[in-house]
Structure 1
Amino acid sequence: MIIVSRGLLKNTKISAITLFPFILLRNADFRKDAVLINHEKIHLQQQRELLIIFFYIWYVVEYYYLVFKLKNRFLAYKSISFEREAYANEKDLEYLQNRKMWSFWKYQS
């Protein structure tokens, strides 16, 4: 389910965030952005595979490990395996139909 949440994302640089089972968008116009929505749907599938809670645990642990390793928060975010998979495949609007389970694993650093 897609929800426009201007207030929640107002003071951030975040355009969208997926908090299972919702995709929260900062702007209603983003509903029309097929690439952004596909990126977030990839995260929904990752979250399902890891039974939701383990996705968030893994995401946070990997992020802080990468911050420590790379000394750069943005680079750490872009290097998270879940983000790498989503960014690499966001323009392929049929990716989720062909995606194999645990595909994020091949994006591990």
Structure 2
Amino acid sequence: MRCPIIICSWLRVDGMALFPFILIKRKGIDYKSQLIFHERIHIRQQLELLVLPFYVLYFFNYLINLLRYKTHYKAYRNIIFEREAFENDTNPDYLERRRFWAFLSYL
């Protein structure tokens, strides 16, 4: 699935997936880049959870992690959706072989 990419220079992060769009901070990012692939994994996760529940679970997982790890960076990196995306964003075949709700294996 090719997602529309929108350049948002005001973003505080390099990229973000907001179904059905991928927002990126800078122009010139190749569609086959690791950043875009990472965000495409999030788009798939959002689709599987029918979008809104993804954001709710993402937020609550972040809050729980923040209590556990005490820092934003560790809390963010240990969100189950981020763990799946970071572990697989260098594998261009991942989305083709990915199991449904694969993020659950990162609990």
TM range (shorter): over 0.9
Q: Which runs of 5+ in 1 are unaligned?
A: none
Please report the TM-score for the alignment, with normalisation by the length of structure 1: 0.91
Name whichever of 31-40 and 97-106 sits farther off.
31-40
TM-score by length of 2: 0.93
Identity of aligned residues (%): 38
* Residue 5 of structure 2, aligned match among 2, 6, 26: 2
Q: Give unpaired runs (5+ residues) of structure 2.
A: none
Q: Does 2:76 match 1:86?
A: no
Name the structure 2 match of 1:103.
Answer: 102
Structure with bigger helix share is 1
Aligned length: 104
In the TM superposition, what is the alpha-carbon distance from 1:34 to its structure 2 partner?
Answer: 1.4
Matching residue of 1:24: 23
Change (3 A) 1:32 1:20: closer
Quote the Cα distance in structure 1 between the aligned partners of 2:80 and 2:21.
21
Moved over 6 A (4+): none
Q: Matched residues in 2 for 1:87 and 1:37: separation?
A: 12
SS of aligned partner of 1:27: coil
Q: What RMSD over aligned residues (CA atoms) do the two structures have, in Å?
A: 1.0
After superposition, where does 1:7-86 map in structure 2 within 5 Å?
7=10, 9=11, 12=12, 14-31=13-30, 34-86=33-85
